[in-house]
Amino acid sequence: MILKRRSAFTLIETIVAFAIIGVILVVALAGFNTIASVGNRAQEWNLADQSLEDLIASGAEGENRDGTVSIVLRPGDPGADPPVLPIVINGVLRTYTDPASGKTITIFVPDDEDA
């Protein structure tokens, strides 16, 4: 008499399969939560950046830092004949604060006579 093997899973095989699937799901969900939180933070930064850009574009006056700042550019070869003169741009540092998020940005604003 020949015995046929049934094609169904045994209880042990089913438990092992569910355990493997469970471990894979836990790892996948942890990775998904990390990706989602990074995406949310990036979206918040993008919104704050857009708010600050809108604030600057609207012509709102930011908070000026004390004193004048000079940016000195030295283009070209310093040993050239005739020597290349440095370019000096005077201006102020202006700080803008987004009222919604509290994030700040500081930009250099050149003086009008240098523009």
CA 112 from centroid of its chain's CA atoms: 32
Give per-residue pLDDT as tens, 5-36.
667 778 888 899 999 999 999 999 988 888 88
Give per-residue pLDDT as tens, 47-91.
877 887 877 777 777 777 666 677 777 666 666 666 667 777 888
- Maximum Cα interatomic distance, the chain, rounded to a whole number of Å: 108
Q: Give the CA-trace dihedral at 49, 54, 56, 61, to 10 degrees.
A: -120
Q: Whose CA is closest to 73, among 55, 90, 86?
A: 86
